[in-house]
Amino acid sequence: MSAPSVLYDVPGPKAKARNAVYTVLFLLALAGVGWWIIATLVEKDQLTWQKWGPFFTEGQVWTTFIFPGLLNTLIAAGLAIAIALPIGSLFGILRMSDHVWIRVPAGAVVEFFRAVPVLILMFFANEFYSEYTDVDSDYRPLMAVVTALVLYNGAVLAEVVRAGIQSLPAGQTEAAKAIGMRKTQTMTNVLLPQAVTAMLPAIVSQLVVIVKDTALGGAALGFMDLFSQIRPIANNYFANTIATMTVVAVIYILLNNLLTAAAGWLEKWSRQRKTSSGAVVKPVDDNGRNA
């Protein structure tokens, strides 16, 4: 039997005993923290059925608050990725231009929007729409959230697109040149279609970042997303703040794990596909860099 990890040997009798001691100590520590949390929750009357029950017995809390909120979160995230993709692709391609006067400004725009916090973009977009446009104030938060997410994620996706195109074998460009294609034709007919497959996992995992960032709009702009339902629910159901936050967090966790799983599945699929180059762009990290 080979060792489970290069960092330690297969445990012998002594190590097994030591691991058992660590297991017990660690469980005791966990139980201590858990006990403190539960005791505090009980002391503050947070573990009553009155507060948790509505999520299991009353459909109304789901149909009035959670589902509409979740729908708004999904709409904002969907719109953001749908608009950010073409913009990101455009800037990604512009950054690879042969002309310095296109490449450098495009690069500056991308780097700028990646350095600016999304929340600041949201504040600005919201105020901009209220000052200079007559957008209905019901839709303004949604527009501001989507605008900010598009600006930030467009910049991130520009890098993903660039990495996707650069991950293709040089033979693709050479073959396109050899049959007399122009630069634009090479890009639109040969490179982009292949790069999209390579980028799919990265794009889906970027959706996780977008879904999480929509909550900023809920907190700062009054956008009626899943996050912003916490207060109204707590107000309607006996101040069950802790219960509501837990349920909302679980929904976010499930949704994001689903997206991560989809990204992993897409990555496997595009690696195995016979027609593709086998190139896959790694998901970008927390700061929108290719890891």
Residue 139 within binding range of other proteins, rule CB under 8 A:
no
Q: Which is nearer to other proteins, 54 or 218 (CB)?
A: 218
**In terms of Cα–Cα distance, which of 206, 249, 197, 254 is closest to 227?**
249
Out of 31, 42, 120, 175, which residue is the one contacting other proteins (CB under 8 A)? 120
Residue 265 within binding range of other proteins, rule CB under 8 A:
no
Residue 242 within binding range of other proteins, rule CB under 8 A:
yes
Residue 30 within binding range of other proteins, rule CB under 8 A:
yes
Residue 102 within binding range of other proteins, rule CB under 8 A:
no
To which H or E segment does residue 105 belong?
helix 100-115
Tell the smallest beta-carbon distance from residue 167 to other proteins (Å): 19
Residue 44 within binding range of other proteins, rule CB under 8 A:
yes
Burial 29-40 (b: 16+ CB within 10 A, else e): eeeeeeeeeeee
Residue 8 within binding range of other proteins, rule CB under 8 A:
yes
Cβ proximity of 270 and 280 under 8 Å: yes
Q: Report d(CA 285, CA 262) in Å as an integer.
A: 17
Cβ proximity of 281 and 198 under 8 Å: yes
**Beta-carbon neighbour count of residue 28 at 10 Å?**
10
Say which amino acid occupies 246.
Answer: T
Tell the smallest beta-carbon distance from residue 180 to other proteins (Å): 41
Q: Which residues bind other proteins (CB under 8 A)?
A: 4-9, 11, 15, 19, 22-23, 26-27, 30, 40-41, 44, 46, 112, 115-120, 123-124, 127-128, 131, 208, 211-216, 218-220, 227, 230, 241-242, 245, 248-249, 252-253, 256-257, 260, 285-287, 289, 291
